Chains A and B, each alone.
Chain A
Amino acid sequence: MPFTSHLLTMKKKQSSMIQAIYIISRNGVPIHFKELLEEEDNVTKATLFTGIISAIQTVLREIDAGDANYFTTATHEIFLEVTNDFAVALVTEVDEDSDKQSMNTLMSEIITEITFQFEEIPEIGFLIQEDQSKIEGIVDRNLAKWESRKEEGSATKKLKDALW
């Protein structure tokens, strides 16, 4: 297999665990979404999905059950972290070996960086193009860092297995 193809395959394999990242406003409007699986109806799907998350959050608040930070469906796992202004949701395929700690770290890093760069996220979720690009950059950067950490982790696993 050619070198570049191999690297591309590796990258795809690592990314495939996280299927989507959503940044959602307090009112449930998608501020930014990144789908890692290519599908034609991403926008519709993102809108519907963030609506569902928002609805669940609202119901939980209504019944005083607190915020949900993790739930599953038959095929997907959803990780959620909520701040005063916005929420970050990660959608992954169901995987028994999924590393919840690393998902939470990724969400925390995205939240920290957004909070640091934006004084306030509008409730209606409308952002000017420049701010949208900033958030896109934050998500892409942190996702790349997460992937790099996953890759690093595999060397550790191999040496623990082979030597230590």
Chain B
Amino acid sequence: MPYGDNMFEQNGIPVLALIIEPLVAVGMLILAVSGFMKYREKKRQPTLFLTLSFVFYALAIASSGIGKWLQFFVNVPSEDIFFADGTILIAYCLTAIATVFLMIFVDLVFLEVGPWFVALVGIINGITVGMMITKLNFSSEAYDEALNIVIFHALVTLALVLLLAILSFREAQQNKERLPKMGFTFIGLYGLFVSMVFVLFAVDIALGGGYSAFYYLAWVSAGLGSLFGYVGYIMPDWFKKLLKI
């Protein structure tokens, strides 16, 4: 059900969208900063690539949010410039890069198949970014014109992030020690909720892309994913105390 008609909105952007996207971006930014601090402390390759993936995910969400804010507040006729659609395409380019970094992390920690896997993911997502850039513009048609590429990107990302979730849940299941068991469970949940973001956006698009309930659920899922990611990857002291580790 599109909420656009019965909620306060301007230039086709609901106020709630202005709030929820920056909130999730801040959540992902906190994750990125925490990851960077971990990297400074540990100086390990997996931490570096994981942090880079958080940075690019945070930038992607910020890009999408900035588009909404510009669209909402800048009074330019949408026939001339439509910020929101163009910035979504930029956001997808950034998520494609983030996913490559995330898969380097997956390879270093779980798969250990080396450059072969990473190169394949890099090429696929590189093609996605290239195709997305050719379609990039700030017209109200930008998103529709790039829809096939967006669907391709969503499917690839969904498969890869689900791979992270499956590997993490398997690792959690095999572990008897409490800390890694919980850590991997939350990393698995992070993967699951990030995957759900793409599924929920797909449902929103299928319903006409008009800020339906699924659009908001997608962002709630992203927010929960960041929270689970923070607990699982960063494992803050308060959480360790909670687990009595």
Contact = CB atoms under 8 A, between A and B. Distances in A.
A binds B: yes
A65 interface: no
Interface stretch (B21-29, B73-81, B148-156, B168-176): B168-176
A1 to B, nearest CB: 7
B44 interface: yes
Nearest to B108: A158
A160 B179 CA distance: 9
Interface of B: 38, 42, 44-47, 50, 108-110, 112-114, 116-117, 167, 170-171, 174-175, 177, 179-180, 183-184, 233-235
A97 interface: no
Given A152-B174, A152-B175, A159 B183 contact: yes
Interface stretch (A2-10, A21-29, A44-52): A2-10
A3 B113 contact: yes
Contacts of A6: 112-114, 116
Interface string A24-65: 000000000000000000000000000000000000000000
A155 B235 CA distance: 16
Given A152-B175, A159-B46, A162-B42, A10 B112 contact: yes
Contacts of A74: none
B180 A160 contact: yes
A149 B180 CA distance: 14
Given A155-B110, A158-B109, A164-B235, 15 more contacts: A152-B170, A152-B175, A155-B167, A156-B180, A159-B180, A159-B183, A160-B179, A161-B44, A163-B42, A163-B44, A163-B47, A163-B183, A163-B233, A164-B179, A164-B180
